[in-house]
Structure 1
Amino acid sequence: MHDAYVPTHFVRHNRPLRGVLIDNQPWFSAYDFARLLGLHHPQALHRRLRPFDTRRVNFMNASGGVEAVQVISEAGLYKALVRFGHPECQGLEEWLSREAIPLLRDRHDDDCCHPRRIVLSWQSQRLLLLDWQGELWMPWIEVPRYMHAEAAGLDYPLAKV
Structure 2
Amino acid sequence: MHDAYIPTFFIRHDRPLRGVMIDNQPWFSAYDFARLLGLHHPQSLHRRLKPFESRHIRLRYTTGSEECVDVINEAGLYKALIRFGHPECQQLEEWLTRQVIPTLRDRHADGDFHPRRVMLSWQSQRLVMLEWQGELWMPWEEVPRYRDA
Give the TM-score normalised by structure 1: 0.88
Cα distance in 1 between the residues matched to 2:16 and 2:145: 30
Map Cα deviations across residues 96-155 of structure 1 (whole Å, 9 max, x no partner).
000000000000012101111001111111111011111110112223xx1226x68xxx
Query: Which residue of the partner structure matches residue 147 of structure 1?
Result: 145
Decide which structure has the larger Cα Rg and report it. 1
Q: Which residue of 2 aligns with 1:92?
A: 92
Root mean square deviation of aligned Cα: 1.3
Gap runs ≥5 in structure 1: 153-161
- 1:48 corresponds to which residue? 48
Whole-angstrom CA distance in 1 between matches of 2:95 and 2:59? 23
- 4+ aligned runs moved over 3 Å, structure 1: none
Alignment correspondent of 2:33: 33
Q: 1:45 offset after TM fit, Å?
A: 0.3
Superposed, which structure 2 residues align to 1:60-139 within 5 Å? 60-139=60-139
Cα deviation, residue 43, structure 1: 0.1
Distance 2:97 2:85 in 1: 18
In structure 1, what is the equivalent of residue 6 of structure 2? 6
Report 1 or 2 for greater relative contact order, CA contacts < 8 Å, sequence distance ≥ 6.
Answer: 2
Deviations 1:22-54 (A, max 9, x none): 000000000000000000100000011111100
Q: Percent identity?
A: 71
Q: What number of residue pairs does the alignment pair up?
A: 149
